[in-house]
Amino acid sequence: MDLRYRPRRLRSSARLRKMVRETRVDKSSLIYPMFVTEGTNVKEEIPSMAGQYRYSVDRMEEKLTELAEAGVGGVMLFGIPDHKDEIGSGAYAEDGIVQKGFRKAKEVCPELYLIGDVCMCEYTSHGHCGILHGHDVDNDKTLDSLAKIALSQVQAGADMVAPSDMMDGRVGAIREMLDSNGFTNTPIMAYSAKFASAFYGPFRDAADSAPAFGDRRSYQMDFHNRREALREVLLDVDEGADIIMIKPAMAYGDLIRETRDAIDLPVAAYSVSGEYSMVKTTAAAGFLDEASIVCEMAACAYRAGTDIYITYFAKELARYMDEGRLG
């Protein structure tokens, strides 16, 4: 058969396939989400996330060292306090759990890049992401608290802050607070398109952050909406965001791609708890190969346009890259 173009020519060997690979990834782009809890000598497995744990500050070093030795780029810390109140004051307390976590992480693994999740849901008695007015979250009053949270995390050692609350105007408020306190070089990674997703279920178990009433659909995005997501992205860019995040990752590759095409800032994607638990439980049942699906999910996110991949499989993916299974 007279075929001038035969695409299979470039698939004929493993070495050639890797040579012409379009999507390439690096361990430094991996971010691991880590849960820090009060207490001592705590390493508590999260029931809905097999293989993931809540660590007390004195037990953080073992996990942080594993991640650093694997070559993972950074860690995002989530705090689980003993005490919660209506205004989430523990989120910005100098001796708050996540602040203690940042100081410890900076001490024992300074080579890891530390990111603070800026939100209130883990710290409020009602489980919502802001200050309540009746049963509604008061957007503008919440901004002051978010700015205080971001500042407290940076003062404790966070290298970057990542507001995840989905309040309008939060990036601008945080940028103003950081700049006015001398942290002009601290970047903001905005959860710009964070959808009201069923994929978050295991995280709410892990962080004890389920809302006591109602849901978060009045501030997290409707997953039906594409144009609105891009509007949120562009608003955060205008307010001074340095990195734009799409969350969740796996089912939202179209938004990752559209964001990548629309802006020239780095794009992050968060492979969330539900994605992790789906893989772990299905693999445990013998229905799929865990390593293969984890690599495929990551490659698809990077192919869509992700520069930074936030994942509970960060350590495993770093190993797979070393083994040549991904990269």
Residues designated as active site: 194, 247
Backbone dihedral angles phi then psi of residue 298, each to the nearest 5 degrees? -65, -45
Structure tokens at 21: 């690979």
- CB contact at 8 A, 76 and 116: yes
DSSP character at residue 122: T
Residues whose CB falls within 8 Å of the CB of residue 302, separated by 6 or more in sequence, listed in order:
23, 24, 25, 309
Distance (Å, whole) CA 138 – CA 271:
29
Cis peptide before 202 (omega within 30 of 0): no
Going through the chain in order, the beta strands assigned E by DSSP cover 30-37, 43-45, 53-56, 74-80, 113-118, 132-133, 136-137, 160-163, 189-194, 243-247, 267-271, 308-311
Tokens of 299: 């490659």
Residue 70 to residue 307: CA distance in whole angstroms = 19
